[in-house]
């Protein structure tokens, strides 16, 4: 199955649709749901640390010379290299919200194979699966989280 997406330059891009919203990824929404109460509990214990982290996060992902979607794709790639499932889910979701396509995510993940080797071939597919789950939700008119 393919899907046509119109890019801002009015060129049509056809990309394969490999994830179905009927088969949720264990690497996307499920990870975020499991981590949410843990973050909430720790945030209560160290609110100033979370506040500072939130401010740094906001500054790092603010649009500048690099669009937010590119910054989020960089974060997905770093999450793959670090093997951080929570980071993968969070930044895959944010990349979808910022307008990244499946192909852009796949290519960003592909760079991790070069930079990290074998371990990236394990976390890369997890990241792509999470990205596709969030993309499917957005395309279905649902919140991608």
CATH number for 117: 1.20.1290.10
Residue keyed to tokens 């789950």: 133
3: in domain? no
Q: 49-92, pLDDT tens digit by residue?
A: 999 999 999 999 999 999 999 999 999 999 999 999 999 999 99
Mean pLDDT of the region 20-37: 81
Q: Residue 22 has what pLDDT?
A: 52
Is the alpha carbon torsion for 111, 117, 119, 122 positive or negative? positive
Assess whether pLDDT exceeds 80 at residue 17. no
Does residue 40 sit within a domain?
A: yes
Residue 102 forms part of a structural domain: yes
Q: Is residue 34 part of a domain?
A: yes
pLDDT in tens, 88-112: 999 999 999 999 999 999 999 999 9
Name the pTM for this structure: 0.80
CA dist 17 and 82 (Å) reads: 27
Parent domain of 38: 25-139
Tokens of 140: 């279905």
Structural domains in the chain (count)? 1
Task: Place 145 in a pLDDT band, splitting at 50, 70 and 90.
Answer: low
Candidate from 10-14, 67-71, 126-130 with smallest mean pLDDT: 10-14
**Residue 1 domain flag:** no
């Amino acid at each position: 199955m393919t899907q046509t997406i119109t890019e801002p330059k009015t060129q049509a891009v056809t990309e394969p649709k490999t994830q179905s919203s009927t088969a949720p990824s264990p690497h996307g929404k499920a990870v975020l749901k499991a981590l949410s109460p843990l973050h909430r509990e720790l945030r209560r214990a160290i609110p100033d640390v979370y506040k500072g982290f939130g401010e740094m996060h906001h500054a790092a992902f603010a649009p500048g010379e690099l669009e937010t979607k590119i910054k989020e794709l960089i974060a997905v790639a770093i999450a793959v290299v670090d093997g951080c499932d929570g980071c993968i889910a969070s930044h895959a979701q944010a990349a979808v919200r910022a307008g990244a396509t499946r192909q852009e995510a796949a290519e960003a993940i592909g760079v991790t194979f070069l930079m990290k080797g074998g371990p990236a071939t394990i976390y890369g597919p997890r990241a792509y699966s999470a990205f596709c789950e969030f993309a499917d939700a957005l395309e279905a008119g649902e919140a991608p989280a």
